[in-house]
Chain A
Amino acid sequence: MASIEYLILFLVGAALLAYLLSKFNKTAASIFTIFATMFVFASLAGYGFGMNLVETVNVLPGFTFAQTYLGFYFVIIIVFVYLMVSFFHPYYIDTYKYKDSYNFLFLLSLAGIIGAFYTNNFLQLFFFFELIIWTTMFLIPLGKSREAAVTYFGFSVAGSMSMLLGIFMIFQQSGTFDISAGLAGISGTNAIFVFALFLIASFSKLGAFPLHIWLPIAHGNAPHPFSPVLSGALVKLGAFIGVLALVRIAPATGLFTTINLPIGQYIVAVLGAMSIVFGTLMAIKEDDAKKLLAYSSMSHGGYILVAFSLLDSIALAGGFYHILAHALASAGAFMAIAAVARATGTTKMKELGGMIHKMPITYLAYLVAIISMAGIPPMGGFISKWLIFQAVIDKGLIFIAVAVFFGSIGSFLYVFRPLAALFLGQELTEYKKVKEAPILMLIPTFIIMGLNVYTGVFPAGILKFINNIISELGFVPITITTFEITGYNGILNPAVISLVFGVGILVAFIIFILLKKSKKVTLMDTYTAANFVHDEHLLHYTTDFYAPLERLYEKQSNWMTKFYKALAQKVKDIGKLGKYLFMSRSIGTTVLWIIGIIILLLWGEVL
């Protein structure tokens, strides 16, 4: 039998062991990390589905754990992404500045994740939350970029401090730190304050609209194998806090009668819609492949927020399914970019081209991942988008529907850009010696490709599990049979769609085979209006790919960065004012301040 606290202790021990091992041999430490993560995943998958993990605490003082379907769903997805990513460690460990601490911090953050989702006590939730933030804060820059660490830490700490304030307000009103009892015990204006504070924490971890500046900086500078974890797994922490706030607190603010939704939830939905639109527009402009995928994570975080704020079982099912589909798609895309970055040393799209001829399997992995990310059948992203569309249309929310449709169509644009600029196009001469990724990196690639297809064709098993979560949260489960999903105004049968797609491809293939064979020519023998061009760089189109569209909004695109820079400047100015007042050079002012404060402390209530 597996026990939650033993898993956490095992991970802490394994982390220390990996640190010591990597002093001798770094590759051995990375392989040890793979096995440790595999063991944790196997025990969670084996015992967790039936809620059979042991919850009793024997060694750690004061910790309590409880299993819920909600927590387990998040844990299994995140640990799976960690496992897939750990296969990449042996190949990248040489490129870091602080090699010994990488595996140590990796396993320690995994311990924090298991604790955060299984705990039953708000203070422990805060403790594990901070553990995750501190370990990942050291993991992201690994000595390269100080700005990434500072921005990530600043926004995350703002989120966790507001969550702490919310926890103390719950304690003040309901008298307990227990999660279920505490959430049930608050009401009135306190509930609205706690709702807002938890939402600030959720937005800062998800990277949703007002608090999104850290996303591209952190993702762009993170080590290549760690970005899938950041984007696919860690932002889901924000989704978890969001579910707690939106669904379980659900304060009774005034009702927006025309659409029958409380005003608080509607504001969250509007902010989610804005992060969809902004994420899409900023991703279309971006040249670095990892920053582009970071903005796409912001956009998908907006989808998850919109889904959870609608208070509707189909929307909740869509939101949970989207968490799974986005984690898999984002992990697949980042892993493909990581493989390319290892082979060529850069992720900027204007320096790359024609990678498909040397790395076809990586290309297929990226293609499957972006088909799912854009929400196209037959992959998993289509089902979650369909469910969210059903809920939005049924509630009649027009402006949010504008943003949701815009994000869904706009995602075709930005996911296509790395495909055309990085993988297709002309083969550049400087990358003629590049080889395909090694076999140990291809194994997780295949597994994630297969899962992307599986979640799109047979969603029924996963949706039945999600129905458990929905009934745990107090809503009516959605209607699903083995092959069909029933929405509000239509029925979806993903297996039939995939079958018809397969039949169509078969017909097209038959037409293709029966006709005359084509002559193979090189890529440079192409239509150039009969000009003689011998340099591949002249025929490769990557820079400013969407220039006509970008021109329409390029002046407005840095407003948010300028706003935050101005905010930071104002804080520095206040600090300078304080320094001027309190710490001036003349000794008389300091003595005056000291005497004044002592008088205020001793006899303040008389005045």
Chain B
Amino acid sequence: MILNLLVGLGVALFGFVLQTGLAGFNRKIIGRLQKRHGPKWYQEYLDIFKLLSKKSISHGWIFDFGVIMALGGIIGTAMFMPLTSTFLAFENYDNFFIFVYLLAVGMLGMAMSASGSGNPWASIGVMRALTTMLAYEVPFMIVVLTIIKISGTSSVAGIQLFQQAAGNNWFIIALPLGGIVAVLALMGMLGKKPFETYIAPAEIASGPMVEYGGKQLGMLFILHEISVFIEVSLFVHLFLGGATNIFIFIVKYAAVYTFVNLISNVNGRFKIDQVVKFFYKWPLLMAVTQAVVAIYFGWVI
């Protein structure tokens, strides 16, 4: 068990390092897209360590405790994530629902701490984040229901092995409507424009992060990087067939994250009720149609 925990911590650390480097690299790509030199590729590391070295303020014990609980929950979730179809810290225990709900612990901790700062912008930001979560989760979970029913297992490593078996396609090809819904839900999960309502720097003064500075903000940035790692890895494992070795995983991961970033960079931002209306119209309809087609009629490509 101790070995499993250490391997899990190694997975979380690897995810953090990978995502932070990739995020800095993406800032450079976006900069080139806008005809300028972007920042250095290791800029995100500098940001996080600068924040960890500042001396900041605190509004009480719940302010600090919420940040610790949030970061703890996310590190715990990352410890379960399989990197390839055979390398994971806890065999057989990486259920899909564990990822969804432990991410919710992270969000609850951050929400508690943000509201505990006493600023109304923070509570409004948390309200918007929760409403966005309500919007994108339901279509996403319907698509994953279809995947679990078809592959017969809800373990993420098991779903990868199912897709890698001969004669099966990746689920993004086998369930095309579901794949489109999953990309939209992924953009909602990562908080990328047009679903960036919960941060919205110009509207609600950066939402939940309004009273953070110094080490709490640094820990929140670490939380954000690790949760991006978890969500993009879930997408890679569930829809793109996972990977058999670590280099293919890194290539697929970088491709998905850069693709989502490029789409989000040319979009504006939705209002919060537009987000809910958007997700409950076509994505929900597509997800349900895909589920009916795949489960009842059995038409899987």
Contacts and interface: CB of A to CB of B under 8 A. Distances in A.
A–B contact with Cβ pairs below 8 Å: the answer is yes
Interface of A: 258, 354, 356-357, 363, 367, 371, 374-377, 382, 386, 389, 393-394, 396, 398-399, 401-402, 405-406, 409-410, 412-413, 416, 419-421, 424-427, 487, 489-493, 496-497, 499-509, 511-512, 515-524, 526-527, 529, 539-541, 545-546, 548-549, 551-552
A398 B55 contact: no
B292 interface: yes
Nearest to A356: B62
B57 interface: yes
B73 A552 contact: no
Contact of A516 (B105, B210, B215): B215
A497 B79 CA distance: 10
Interface stretch (B17-25, B152-160, B259-267): B152-160
B118 A539 contact: yes
11 contacts: A356-B62, A398-B292, A412-B133, A491-B92, A496-B93, A502-B72, A518-B64, A519-B58, A520-B60, A523-B117, A526-B59
B203 interface: no
A506 B154 contact: no
B118 A426 contact: yes
A507 B272 CA distance: 35
Query: Interface range on chain B: under 10, 10 to 19, 20 to 34, or 35 or more?
Result: 35 or more
B121 interface: yes
B8 interface: yes
Contacts of B273: 548-549, 551-552
B214 interface: yes
B56 A402 contact: no
Contacts of B133: 409, 412
Contacts of B137: 405, 409
Contacts of B149: 393-394, 396
B108 A258 contact: no
Nearest to B66: A424
B5 A503 contact: yes
Of B80, B118, B119, B128, chain A has the most CB atoms within 10 Å of the CB of: B118
Contacts of B215: 512, 515-516, 518
Of B58, B108, B121, B205, chain A has the most CB atoms within 10 Å of the CB of: B108
A357 B117 CA distance: 12
Interface string B44-65: 0000000011111111101010
Of A393, A413, A420, A490, chain B has the most CB atoms within 10 Å of the CB of: A490
A359 B124 CA distance: 24
Q: Give the 7 A-B CB pairs with smallest separation, nearest first.
A: A505-B72, A504-B76, A523-B118, A504-B75, A518-B58, A508-B71, A541-B120
A540 B120 contact: yes
Contact of B59 (A401, A516, A521, A546): A521
B271 interface: yes
B129 to A, nearest CB: 10
B115 interface: yes
B105 A376 contact: yes
A409 B214 contact: no
Given A258-B296, A406-B138, A505-B72, 8 more contacts: A376-B102, A377-B98, A393-B145, A401-B142, A492-B95, A500-B79, A504-B73, A523-B117
